[in-house]
Chains A and B, each alone.
Chain A
Amino acid sequence: MSDIWEDEDSDYERKMADREWNRLQDQHGVIGYTEGVEEAKEQHLQVGFDDGYSIGASIGLQVGRMQFKLESLLAELKSKQEDKSTEQETKRLQELYTKLKNLKYDQIFTKEWFKNGHENPAELECIVNEYNNLTKNKLFNP
């Protein structure tokens, strides 16, 4: 009979010890975790920003240049007599120009771009190809 009570006592103590262990872990572990996150995040935000800034800026410069050149080319085309043969091309130029004018960083640096280890953004390649196709036959020097 006494053995049964002893078992129950030790079971009770073990459970209480587990509860205390978990309570300490929850309470102090979470406080430590939060402190660690804040401390490290603050230290690494600037590093991440500088890295992203130079990538974004290199591509932004390229896009801005193309945007101006398309705007200028469109103005040139509009000042000339348009015929049916150039109508379609002008429409494509206009579409690309509008796309560049409204282009936001997250359309270039997509989730896939992050996943694929920051290779040349696929969306940028499409834009550059379209731009080269549309401008290669023009007298205007892109």
Chain B
Amino acid sequence: MEDLIHLEEMFHEYGRLDGIEQGQKSGLLEGKVLGLEKGFDFAKEMGYYIAFSEHWISIVEQNRVAYPERTLKQLNNLLDLCLTFHTENNLNIDPLKLMNNVRGKFKAACSLLKVHYSYSDTQALNF
């Protein structure tokens, strides 16, 4: 009987070791694919707003009188907020909250500039 229990444990352990090897591979791959998707989607939208801010800051700085006074401040705030984004995954930052703040500031800046830009037709971002 003891032999039988020993065998059961041995098979269990062999199976577990095989499983660990496979689990490591599939965990890394599955996580990586998900990370690629989320990192790409999030940063692509953020890159768009960064380029928008830089572009318009340069234009407004050259002709301040043509735009409402707070335009430059709004654009700089937007850029500063965008630059809090890092390409490393930071668990202390809520990406959805950050993106919603950025989108709000972007819309406000567009309104002050009286321009229309659209990052996406759907703007769906899920985490």
Determine if B22 and A36 form an interchain contact, defined as CB atoms under 8 angstroms apart.
Answer: yes
Question: Separation in Å of the A95 CB from the closest CB of chain B?
Answer: 17
Determine if B14 and A53 form an interchain contact, defined as CB atoms under 8 angstroms apart.
Answer: no
B11 at interface (Cβ–Cβ under 8 A)? yes
Question: Separation in Å of the A132 CB from the closest CB of chain B?
Answer: 16
**Interface residue ranges, B against A (CB under 8 Å):** 4, 7-9, 11-24, 26-52, 55, 86-89, 117, 119-120
CA distance A66 to B55 in the complex (A): 12
CA distance A59 to B87 in the complex (A): 9
Which of B7, B31, B39 has its CB near the most chain A CB atoms (within 10 A)?
Answer: B39
**Among A21, A33, A101, which residue has its beta carbon within 8 angstroms of that of B19?**
A33
CA distance A94 to B31 in the complex (A): 35
How many positions in chain A have a CB within 8 Å of any CB in the partner chain? 55
**Interface residue ranges, A against B (CB under 8 Å):** 21, 24-25, 27-69, 71-72, 101, 103-106, 108-109
Determine if A50 and B35 form an interchain contact, defined as CB atoms under 8 angstroms apart.
Answer: yes
- CB-defined contacts of B46 to chain A, threshold 8 Å: 60-61, 64
Q: Give the secondary structure class of A's interface.
A: helix
Q: Give the secondary structure class of B's interface.
A: helix
- CB-defined contacts of A46 to chain B, threshold 8 Å: 31
Determine if A68 and B51 form an interchain contact, defined as CB atoms under 8 angstroms apart.
Answer: yes
- CB-defined contacts of A57 to chain B, threshold 8 Å: 39-40, 42-43, 86-88
CA distance A32 to B15 in the complex (A): 5
Assuming A24-B11, A54-B39, is B87 touching A67 (CB within 8 A)? Answer: no
Determine if A65 and B23 form an interchain contact, defined as CB atoms under 8 angstroms apart.
Answer: no
Question: Separation in Å of the B106 CB from the closest CB of chain A?
Answer: 11
- CB-defined contacts of B50 to chain A, threshold 8 Å: 61, 64-65
Assuming A52-B35, A55-B39, is B26 touching A41 (CB within 8 A)? Answer: yes
**Among A28, A44, A49, which residue has its beta carbon within 8 angstroms of that of B11?**
A28
